Structure 1
Amino acid sequence: MPLIAETCVARHTGDRKEQQDRVALFAHPTETGTLLAVLADGMGGHSGGAMAAEQVTIKAKQNFEAFQPAHETGRHLLQSIVDEAHVVIKLTRFTSEQDPHSTAVVFLMQPGKAAWAHCGDSRLYHFRGREPCFRTQDHSLVGEMLRKGRLDEAGALNHPQRNVLLSCLGSEREPRVEYGETDTLMAGDSFLLCSDGLWSYFSDDELGLVVDNHRPREAAQLLIDLARSRAGGYGDNISLALIKLSDPKSSPRPAFIG
């Protein structure tokens, strides 16, 4: 049965002087029911991070528009976006004075299935109703400490080195990229892509509750407002993309039909 996807993308500069996050959502030019969401959190001094994040979104748009599902897999598309963005960001180091790097989360939805790739500490969440089904694991020092049992979730949120990344695009070392997929999409599923400027202030359960109880635009505004309040004047850039799936019979105002 076809599902309806209602979507929203949003950003806020937070308490920073410059917005270095980038986020975008694209519908495929010819393939019905196929969309791509991409989010990148840039790093690298004044304008350097913005440049790196912009390269991720540009490469995502270019490769997605050329994507032919009959001849290539979703995994191949995702890998090409991340790998090529990494190379482009590295090359910009030779033509500028900045040292650009970026995280990346790329989410591909096709009829009946979804796939994603991520590098760094920007996240993708999959909720079914309000219940968390899946969350990407951060490629960060704190994330590694969590996986090894040296730190709990509460300690991770306040750890002084929580922003230290172990992998990102544009570094000399080859990036660590992880992939995931599901072929079981159903009404009530939601996918949230977000930078650490958002997720740092919420538990998984809190995010699931807000996403489930509100339409995407309302959920995005509420999450940003809460993150800004909890940051206490020290908030990072915020970016998010939200995709909510529903039954066509119960959705009054569809944003995307797939």
Structure 2
Amino acid sequence: MPFSAETCVALHGGDRAEQQDRVGLFPHPKRSGMLLAVLADGMGGHSGGAMAAEQVLIRARQNFETYAPRYETPDSLLASVIDEAHLVIKLTRFTSEQDPHSTAVVFLLQQGKAYWAHCGDSRLYHFRGPSLLSRSADHSLVGELQRKGRLDAADALWHPRRNVLLSCLGSERAPRIEQGREETPLAGDVFLLCSDGLWAYFSDAELGATLHELPPRAAAERLIGLARERARGSGDNLSLAIIKLVSLPSPAPVPTARG
């Protein structure tokens, strides 16, 4: 069944002095039916994190503008955004006193198929109705401990080293890039990109129910409001992008001429 996409992007500074998250949504300038969403959570001292996250958006937009599906695969596009942003961020360390780093999540909708890639602990969720189909794996210390069965989800939220990343953009090591895809998305599917300033306050079930019940803008407003309440004055920057697939209306029947 054909579908269209309803979308929303949102940012909130939380209780931080500076907004170091970045999020963007870009249609392809020449090809219809293609959409790129990107989210980055910057780290690295005053203005350093913001600069790092901004580089992710710049690289995503530039690479998408020159993307030619006939000669380049979706996976290579997404990987190039993360790899090239990593190199640019890394180079800035030699020209400033900062130590900038960033996470990255990049999502591509192309010809009715969905592709994504990420590095760090910003997440990509894929819901079908209110049910979770997939969620990206956090490249963090607590994420690794959870995968090894040494930490449960509840304890991970309060672990003293929950902000330690094992991979990110701008570090000495090449970024760990994990990719996913959905070859047959359906109307009713929702893709959520978000930073840890948002997902830390919600279960998968609560996110899925909210995104299923509400259109993207109303869902974003509710999630940000609840995250702010639950942060109790100590909230991080938060950002999100919502891509909700909705059915296209059936074309009206063509009247039959009568002789």
TM-score, scaled to structure 2: 0.95
Q: Following superposition of structure 1 onto structure 2, how do residues 205-244 of structure 1 map, counting pairs within 5 Å? A: 205-244=205-244
- Hey, what does 1:150 align to over in structure 2? 150
Indicate yes or no: 2:72 matched with 1:78. no
- Hey, what does 2:34 align to over in structure 1? 34
- Hey, what does 1:254 align to over in structure 2? none
Distance in 2, matches of 1:28 and 1:92, equals: 29
Q: Following superposition of structure 1 onto structure 2, how do residues 183-194 of structure 1 map, counting pairs within 5 Å? A: 183-194=183-194
- Hey, what does 1:118 align to over in structure 2? 118
The percentage of aligned residue pairs carrying the same residue is 71
- Hey, what does 1:130 align to over in structure 2? 130
Residue deviations 1:187-227, cap 9 Å, x none? 00000000000000000000000000000000000000000
Indicate yes or no: 2:100 matched with 1:100. yes
Indicate yes or no: 2:4 matched with 1:19. no
Further displaced range: 173-182 or 118-127: 173-182
- Hey, what does 1:255 align to over in structure 2? none
Residue deviations 1:5-25, cap 9 Å, x none? 000000000000000000000
Further displaced range: 155-164 or 210-219: 155-164
Distance in 1, matches of 2:246 and 2:78, equals: 25
Residue deviations 1:135-158, cap 9 Å, x none? 000000000000000011111112
- Hey, what does 2:178 align to over in structure 1? 178
Distance in 2, matches of 1:56 and 1:28, equals: 17
TM-superposed deviation, 1:169: 0.2
Residue deviations 1:44-98, cap 9 Å, x none? 0000000000000000000000011111110110111111000000001111111
Q: Which structure 1 residue ranges, 5 or more long, are not aligned?
A: 251-258
Equivalent residue letter for 1:232: R
Equivalent residue letter for 1:224: I
Q: Which has the larger radius of gyration?
A: 2
Further displaced range: 241-250 or 224-233: 241-250
- Hey, what does 1:109 align to over in structure 2? 109
Equivalent residue letter for 1:231: A
**Alpha-carbon RMSD:** 0.8
